[in-house]
Amino acid sequence: MGMCWITSLPEDVIIECVARVPRRYYPSLSLVSKFCRSLIASPQLYARRSLLDRTECCLYVTIYSRDDGYDRLYTLRQKINSSGDYCLVPIPSLPPMPSSGSYVAVGSKIYVMGGSCFEVSSNALTLIDCPLHTANHHLPNMPRAVASSVSGYINEKIYVIGGCRSRFPVFSEGPMDVMVFDVKSETWESKTRPDNLVFDWYSNSAVTWDDKIYFRVLKHGFVYDPSQDKMEKDDMLKSYYWVGSECVIEGVLYYYSTASKILRSYDLKERCWKRVKGEIGLSGTTRARTVTYDKKVVVFLEKDIDRNKVELWCAEIKLERDEQGEICARLDWCGCVFEGHSRLMNCLVLKIYFVGNTFDSAGINSIDQLSVNLIPRTCHISCIYGSGLRHGSGENPSRNGKDAYINLWEIKRPTPLRETQLRLSKTPVVEQLAMATGKTVKDVSPHDFVKAYASHLKRSGKIELPPWTDIVKTGKLKELAPYDPDWYYIRAASMARKVYLRGGLGVGAFRRTYGGSKRNGSRPPHFCKSSGGIARHILQQLETMNIVEIDTKGGRRITSSGQRDLDQVAGRIAAEI
């Protein structure tokens, strides 16, 4: 690729051009040069985007992991090498959330209230800053610990209704109490219902419309008016099993029935149910969550492939009215966006104004359209000084097998008319392919990952092998040194993976992990720890490479750059399967 001439342009011209480019192309631009990377991180770029009102709708999904019992946040984004396919990408900077928590979107922030941690209800309140992908745990806790509650945001206050309090919240009952959180003053207020009724909160859902909260529990439907602190039963609202629906468009609630395989609507004003016309044909699903996104209904569906594998599918449905004024549904797109040993929990849509350098592997999501919405083989986009992007043209790429290419921006020397051409060059970048898969270390085989990451460490040349690698034993339980000449890289890769998954591991923990049975003569075998010197030496090497760091609570923890490197290797493995 030729030399990049972007530095020869005035800075205001560069910012004016790049600010109009959708953020999903920023990873490609950052790979061109160090100058481009600093440009993407420039506050002036995002300040200009704010003046241009470049807000973006982002869809977040919470997925329950059956491995550790926590919920994790993912964001839906368009794949880099595709014109219309999407995938769910994890947000590694956010910590795991308690399962069965209540989520409320307020502006560009998400409030997470309560939940269940190791089958114990929680009273924690967490604030997630979506533009920065950071979590704040220092807000005041709720007056009571609850899980599986319903919530809504009205007039700068969050209302948390009901929930379970027992040790096993998903199978217990709870009262219809209301807790109110003032977003401005950050204070809680508790309201106890005089009727003291108890309900089963296992299956519930809620929507907010016209300053009221409409929700249902397992066998009942209710409407809560915060202005009058009034709770009313709605028998029509409970007629259908609309679990996990947070989709209201123009006063009409929509939910997808996995049993009937149809889209139903409920007019909140007229209080009547209707079947939406149109055959969607989404079969083989066990759970569904609906949400409104870009004036469309988006349905997330859970498909059980086998005992240890679940697929999450996403369907984009457009709503139209026919000549009789009836609402009709049309399926625009449907595809698999996630695979794993997990379970779909919740969906949220936020309109976000991004500030600062919020570009990362999980935060790139834009509904804006560039003049070339397919990845082109060659594309010329021209812009006149001070006027921004003007036109573009391109052709479709080759999609043969595993040949994956992304677009790298190259700025050519400006012409006398001060016109700049931005060319998309065909360059293979495996890291972007890995990013597009949305896979992490947890999603690939441990054996395949350790083998691939050991090769990665060996190719990097950053590990200095000690002179004793060919003669030393890995523990007193061993009789000879390892036969594999690359055993040091394999052990380093394995240790890095364990720190990634668990954290807080030190030399003592690794001595027990890699220990084994030892037998002395006729005595019964007993457990023997492995060598502590080898583990200590490898940890020091990984610290030098900025893969792990010392944890203040003890042991080592993975660094942000180390987590990114490990996830990239996992993404390559997933892309090659």
Specify whether the CB–CB gap between 159 and 152 falls below 8 A. Answer: yes
User: What value does the mean pLDDT take over residues 52-63?
Assistant: 81
pLDDT the model gives residue 25? 74
Cα separations in angstroms, 145 against 121, 122, 162, 163, 200: 5, 5, 11, 9, 16
Same-domain check for residues 572 and 461: yes
User: What value does the mean pLDDT take over residues 408-437?
Assistant: 36
Q: What is the three-class DSSP state of 93?
A: coil
**pLDDT top residue among 375 and 104:** 104
CATH number of the domain that residue 524 is part of: 1.10.10.10
- How many other CB atoms are found less than 10 A from the CB of residue 460? 11
- Judge whether 1 lies within some domain: no
pLDDT the model gives residue 538? 94
CATH number of the domain that residue 299 is part of: 2.120.10.80
Q: Which of 68-82, 242-256, 418-432 has the lowest mean pLDDT?
A: 418-432
Rounded Cα distance, 206 and 218, in Å: 12
pLDDT digits (tens, 9 = 90+) for 355-369: 444 433 333 322 222
What H or E segment, with its residue span, contains residue 188?
strand 187-191
Specify whether the CB–CB gap between 288 and 299 falls below 8 A. Answer: yes
Where does residue 512 rank: exposed (0-12), middle (13-18), buried (19+ CB within 10 A)? Answer: exposed
Query: Which tokens is 297 given?
Result: 């209904």
Cα dihedral sign for 552, 557, 562, 563?
negative
Same-domain check for residues 176 and 300: yes
pLDDT the model gives residue 557? 94
- Per-residue pLDDT band for 155 (boundaries 50, 70, 90) equals very high
Contacts 24+ apart (CB under 8 A), 7-10: 7/35, 8/413, 8/414, 9/411, 9/414, 9/420
Residue 41, CA atoms < 13 Å, CB-side half-sphere: 9
Same-domain check for residues 25 and 76: no
Cα separations in angstroms, 471 against 386, 479, 482, 495, 529: 67, 11, 8, 21, 19
Same-domain check for residues 86 and 64: yes
Residue 130, CA atoms < 13 Å, CB-side half-sphere: 28
- Judge whether 362 lies within some domain: no
Domain endpoint, select from 384, 401, 429: 429
Beta pairing, strands 212-216 & 205-209: antiparallel
Residue 214, CA atoms < 13 Å, CB-side half-sphere: 25
At residue 372, does pLDDT exceed 60?
no
pLDDT digits (tens, 9 = 90+) for 345-358: 777 776 665 544 44
Contacts 24+ apart (CB under 8 A), 450-455: 450/490, 450/493, 450/494, 450/497, 451/490, 451/493, 452/569, 452/572, 452/573, 453/493, 453/496, 453/497, 453/566, 453/569, 454/486, 454/489, 454/490, 454/492, 454/493, 455/489
Same-domain check for residues 289 and 140: yes
pLDDT the model gives residue 558? 93
Same-domain check for residues 560 and 505: yes
Looking at the DSSP assignment, which residues form a beta bridge with residue 180? 159, 189
pLDDT the model gives residue 509? 92
- Per-residue pLDDT band for 408 (boundaries 50, 70, 90) equals very low
At residue 160, does pLDDT exceed 90?
yes
Query: Which tokens is 555 given?
Result: 């042991």
At residue 163, does pLDDT exceed 60?
yes
Domain count along the chain? 3
Cα dihedral sign for 395, 396, 400, 402?
positive
Domain endpoint, select from 321, 352, 383: 352
What H or E segment, with its residue span, contains residue 264?
strand 262-267
- Judge whether 361 lies within some domain: no
- Judge whether 364 lies within some domain: no
- Per-residue pLDDT band for 157 (boundaries 50, 70, 90) equals very high
CB within 8 Å of 7: residues ≥ 6 apart: 35
DSSP symbols for 432-483 = HHHHHHT--GGGS-HHHHHHHHHHHHHHH------TTTTT--SBTT-SS--S
Q: Model's pTM, two decimal places?
A: 0.58
- Judge whether 472 lies within some domain: yes
Round the average pLDDT of the chain to a whole number and report it.
76
Same-domain check for residues 444 and 299: no
Say which DSSP state 95 is in.
P
Query: Which tokens is 206 given?
Result: 């809620």
- Per-residue pLDDT band for 547 (boundaries 50, 70, 90) equals very high
Per the structure, the complete domain to which residue 380 belongs is given by 6-54+374-429
Rounded Cα distance, 458 and 465, in Å: 10
User: What value does the mean pLDDT take over residues 563-575?
Assistant: 86
At residue 159, does pLDDT exceed 90?
yes
- Judge whether 434 lies within some domain: no
* Closest CA relative to residue 7, chosen from 319, 411, 487: 411
- Per-residue pLDDT band for 491 (boundaries 50, 70, 90) equals very high
- Judge whether 358 lies within some domain: no
Nearest-10 crossing angle of helices 487-501, 532-544: 70
Same-domain check for residues 284 and 235: yes
At residue 390, does pLDDT exceed 50?
no
pLDDT digits (tens, 9 = 90+) for 204-213: 688 998 999 9
User: What value does the mean pLDDT take over residues 277-283?
Assistant: 76
Cα dihedral sign for 39, 41, 47, 52?
positive
- How many other CB atoms are found less than 10 A from the CB of residue 11? 11
Same-domain check for residues 115 and 151: yes
User: What value does the mean pLDDT take over residues 238-249?
Assistant: 76
Angle at 532 (CA atoms; ends 526, 537), nearest 5 degrees: 155
Same-domain check for residues 257 and 379: no
Four-CA torsion 284, 286, 291, 293, nearest 10 degrees: -30
Query: Which tokens is 432 given?
Result: 């972007």
Q: Which of 23-27, 167-171, 427-431, 556-560 has the lowest mean pLDDT?
A: 427-431
Say which DSSP state 542 is in.
H
Name, of 121-135, 216-230, 522-536, the range with top average pLDDT.
522-536
* Closest CA relative to residue 454, chosen from 499, 500, 485: 485
Give the 3-state secondary structure of 117-133: ECCEEECCEEEEECCCC
Same-domain check for residues 25 and 98: no
**pLDDT top residue among 320 and 390:** 320
- Judge whether 466 lies within some domain: yes
- Per-residue pLDDT band for 446 (boundaries 50, 70, 90) equals very high
Same-domain check for residues 27 and 96: no
Specify whether the CB–CB gap between 275 and 261 falls below 8 A. Answer: no
**E strand residue ranges, 45-90:** 56-65, 70-78, 86-90
